[in-house]
Amino acid sequence: MDLFDTLPGLNLRVSEISPMLSSMWQASADDKRDVAATGRASQLNLVVHFGGQASAEEGLGIFNTAISFAQSYPCRIIVLCPVVSVKGADSIDAKLFSLCYVGADQRALCACEAVILGYLHQDAVHLEDLISLWLENDLPVYHWFHNVSAEALKRDVLPLLHGCRRVLFDSAVEDPALKTIRWPEPQSIADLTRSHLLPVRQSLGQFLAGYPPWQLIAGLKKVVVAYAPGHLAEAESLIDWQQKTLLHCGAKEEGVAAVVFGYEPLRVGADTSIEVRWVYADDKYLSWSFCEKRTSVHITANLGTGKVDLAQQLQLLSPEQALAEALFFAN
Amino acid sequence: MQSHDTDRHPFLQGLSRHRGVPPTVIVIFGASGDLTARKLVPAIYNLGLDNLLPSDFYLIGFGRKAIQDEAFREMTQTDVQKYSRRPLHPEFWEHLSEKVLYHTGDYDQVEAYKALGERIDVIEKNLGRDIQLLFYISTPPTVFKPILENLGASGLAARHAGTALASKIIIEKPFGRDLDSAKGLNQVLRQQFQESQVFRIDHYLGKETVQDLLVQRFSNSIFEPIWNFRYVDCIQITVAEELGVGTRGGYYDQSGALRDMIQNHTMQLLSLVAMEPPVSLSPEDIRDEKVKLLKAIQPVDLRPEGGDVIRAHYTEGLVSGERVPGYTQEQGIPADSFTETYAAIRLFINNWRWQGVPIYLRSGKRMPRRVSEIAVQFKQPPGALFSDTARFDLAPNTMVMQIQPDEGTTLLINSKIPGLETRTQPVKMHFRYSTTFGSNTPEAYERLILDAMGGDGTLFIRGDETETSWGIFTPILDFWQSGGRRGLETYASGSWGPVAADRLLWERKHEWRRPGP
Ligand SMILES: NC(=O)c1ccc[n+]([C@@H]2O[C@H](COP(=O)([O-])OP(=O)(O)OC[C@H]3O[C@@H](n4cnc5c(N)ncnc54)[C@H](OP(=O)(O)O)[C@@H]3O)[C@@H](O)[C@H]2O)c1
């Protein structure tokens, strides 16, 4: 079973999608009111692109994240799945998913729909026009890639990105070659892994902001992020962030551009997920460690004004929170 | 839209204009055709259901085929069952269909018209009072002329002339195929009818949103002050069809997008959205303003490079996921045809209000979806506060009036995304007719037939409007004709048109809209 088959939804023909979208929330067959329009609050569009390599399990996870996100930020979701053969009567297979969601309080009542398309590689050129049928025009369009090879992205998807507000991917799963792509609007690229780490950056940032920048960089020799299995992309993202931030602290001017930045696996048996260590030429140091299981952070440091030993609670963002963060607040 | 009541019969004063229509016989020429079946008969039936037909009402179909009254009644009953917005109400239909007749005759034989006159005399005699005639010409344009001439020769056109019951005539587009033929048609019409008796129909004008344009513009104080070159960046009018030429290829190939759509529908929309406020809501005052607007349109620049017009026809592609053939592979289309199925035009209006504001019009077949809309895009405010585009996603305020399929208006404004930080994105404020007022609103043809019966020409096109509009487009058509295939672009079926059309907008940093749901 390929990914298209795994995703939930009602199989229908492409031409049936629009009529179905406008009639699906009617109370009865005689109810001619356009209920979808009354209740429709969609104020943005989310287009999810799966690559040929995306597994059914990953795909389902991402789909569920998108649906959870839509419960807080009503949006039109379109999911694009490459398939090796189409099964329906058209050149493109289609499904429509809809969900009515009732939250804990009366106000949290919402409905969301997702249009899912299964297309052959050679029909990718038609997708831009086809999805314009369901995108809420004038409103921001966000694209989310999952496991799309750099080659497929360049070939099929770049034309779709013109004018879009944000392009999302997760460096934890993507083809490293994505980094070499010349994006039409580079400022619109956002990495989900980075957004997911927002609480980590906040914890470290708040602590370090208690020291003057010059004090942080004076004598700094090495910055290391150690990571548990499965957290490499997060380590890379954290290194990248620290490198950029330290430059802002004046590392270049102070002649300490020679600080070594690196990451390494955590020792076997460690119960932490990520650790950040700063090594100085003198007796200053920073050790920040996060245990995902216990949702706790432990900071020990001496950054020139005496020893500190701190414990904090910290929870990484859920996938849908990370999605919202990446879409709206990433830059 | 007429408002003065004092010239009416005392028993009609206080009643809506639409509820005092005089006794009428509607004669449809070409009554065995497609338009009669899909639009006219259902419209008349629904007017009847709403008690809007006069108590003495007759429908007479006219055509060459020998059809008996009873057979025509059956045909019209099927039309109602198939195409009416409301189901057939058997008792009401029985009552109405008694007054449905058919008259067989050749369009170019005056005897047929005289015989028709005799049947009408009988109806009048039985009624014991005068009755007005409303002719509806629903034939291909090739027979407009003989019909008009024979209405004159038979005396039908002149019945009750000079009274409120004077004969009236509705004609369907095309009102000519260029300036000369439009003038010719007007001349034939004027030989038999006064302009006040002529109702040139453009069904777009019967749509609620189109009528609402005047209300929105002139009854709200917030729009009119900004409806000008100081605040408006551009106006885009789109009339897109999903269908290709289908079985009407032969007809379409003689016509093309400019004649079939732009010259009439889009220009009607443009004149209503851009005209000056009329001094009253009377038909003549409104139509005077429309003509003034059309007269202010600058001649278009025809140069293939950097000019104001683009034409194209569709090639094979995917529409709603289905593979469809290209234009020249359609039935009845010659392989070397250069008829455009898409046209895009940039216009400028040379008056105080619209100086320098580009107006973009486009219409095409085999586009991704059927949609007609007017979008008025406003200029961006000075960017001092929100100029950081990485943090602030701002769109130009745009007011979109959607004419079909879902009639309504949307206003695009910028708003803060909920959260601690100030981030922005555009959001829409929607008003939809179907959700606010229910979806079972009358069809355009209902309103238009009723207005014509009542003699109100507000929502019809006046003769000088057609000529002024053809005056704008005839040079383009001549230029295309002389150029053959030169400059003819192509676009894949299911796309929003040729890439070349983007150039018209890029030059001023605009982009075509993608009309969504
Ligand atoms: N169909 C639409 O949706 C539509 C929309 C907008 C405007 N219009 C306009 O409305 C008018 C009628 O449209 P329609 O689609 O109903 O046309 P149609 O079906 O092609 O023709 C209507 C009738 O006219 C008669 N006729 C056809 N060809 C003729 C010819 N060459 N010479 C003499 N009579 C002929 C036929 O009746 P008999 O053989 O019984 O005489 C036919 O049933 C046209 O002017 C068209 O441009 C149509």
DSSP state for residue B349 in the 8-state scheme: B
Q: What is the mean pLDDT of chain B?
A: 92
In a domain, B127, yes or no: yes
Q: Which of B314, B412, B413, B409 is nearest to B364 (CA)?
A: B314
Chain B residues with CB under 8 Å of A33 CB are 434-435, 438-439
Q: Residue B313 catalytic?
A: no
Examine the fold and report which residue of B172, B193, B222 is the final residue of a domain before the chain moves on: B172
The C-alpha torsion from A8 through A14 and A17 to A19, rounded to 10°, is -150
Interface size, chain A vs chain B, as Cβ–Cβ contacts under 8 Å: 115
Of B435 and B339, which is predicted with more confidence? B339
Contacts of A247 (CB under 8 A, 6+ apart): none
- At B175-218, the pLDDT tens digits run 999 999 999 999 999 999 999 999 999 999 998 888 889 999 99
Q: With beta carbons less than 8 A apart as the criterion, state whether A142 and A165 touch.
A: yes
Indicate whether B162 and B213 sit together in one domain.
Answer: no
Asked if pLDDT for residue B4 goes beyond 60, the answer is: no
Examine the fold and report which residue of B148, B172, B196 is the final residue of a domain before the chain moves on: B172
CATH number assigned to the domain comprising residue B71: 3.40.50.720
> Is there an atom of ligand 1 within 6 Å of B249 CB?
no
Say yes or no for a CB contact (<8 Å) between A132 and B425: no
Chain A residues with CB under 8 Å of B416 CB are none
CATH number assigned to the domain comprising residue B269: 3.30.360.10
Number of domains chain B contains: 2
In a domain, B299, yes or no: yes
> Residue of the nearest CA to atom 33 in ligand 1?
B143
Global pTM reads: 0.85
B256 φψ region: left (φ > 0), alpha (ψ -120 to 50), beta (else)? left
Q: Quick one: closest CA in B to A117, which residue?
A: B321
Indicate whether B219 and B165 sit together in one domain.
Answer: no
Stretch A142-147: mean pLDDT, rounded? Answer: 93
- Residues counted in chain B: 517
Say yes or no for a CB contact (<8 Å) between B516 and A140: no
Of A132 and A186, which is predicted with more confidence? A132
Indicate whether B116 and B210 sit together in one domain.
Answer: no
Residue B149 lies in domain: 6-172
The confidence score (pLDDT) of residue A105 equals: 60
Sheet holding A166-169, edge to edge: A10-12, A93-102, A109-119, A76-82, A45-50, A141-146, A166-169, A189-191
Distance of CA B33 from the midpoint of ligand 1 (Å): 5
Smallest Cβ distance to B321: which of A14, A44, A137? Answer: A14
Indicate whether B212 and B271 sit together in one domain.
Answer: yes
Chain B residues with CB under 8 Å of A329 CB are 419, 421, 423
Indicate whether B53 and B96 sit together in one domain.
Answer: yes
Q: What is the mean pLDDT of chain A?
A: 87
Asked if pLDDT for residue B11 goes beyond 70, the answer is: no
Chain A residues with CB under 8 Å of B317 CB are 126
Stretch A207-233: mean pLDDT, rounded? Answer: 91
Which residues of B lie inside 8 Å of A (Cβ-Cβ)?
317-318, 320-323, 368-369, 389-391, 393, 395, 398, 400, 406, 410, 412, 417, 419, 421, 423, 425-428, 430, 432, 434-435, 438-440, 492, 494-496, 511, 513-517
Smallest Cβ distance to B439: which of A33, A123, A165? Answer: A33
Say yes or no for a CB contact (<8 Å) between A91 and B322: yes
Examine the fold and report which residue of B126, B155, B172 is the final residue of a domain before the chain moves on: B172
DSSP state for residue A16 in the 8-state scheme: H
> Is there an atom of ligand 1 within 6 Å of B83 CB?
no
Domains of chain A: 3-192+322-329 (no CATH), 198-313 (3.30.1330)
Which residue of the set B265, B313, B430, B510 is catalytic? Answer: B265
**Using CA atoms, how far apart are residues A198 and A87, in angstroms rounded to an integer?**
43
The confidence score (pLDDT) of residue A28 equals: 59
In a domain, B189, yes or no: no
The confidence score (pLDDT) of residue B1 equals: 43
Q: Quick one: closest CA in A to B412, which residue?
A: A138
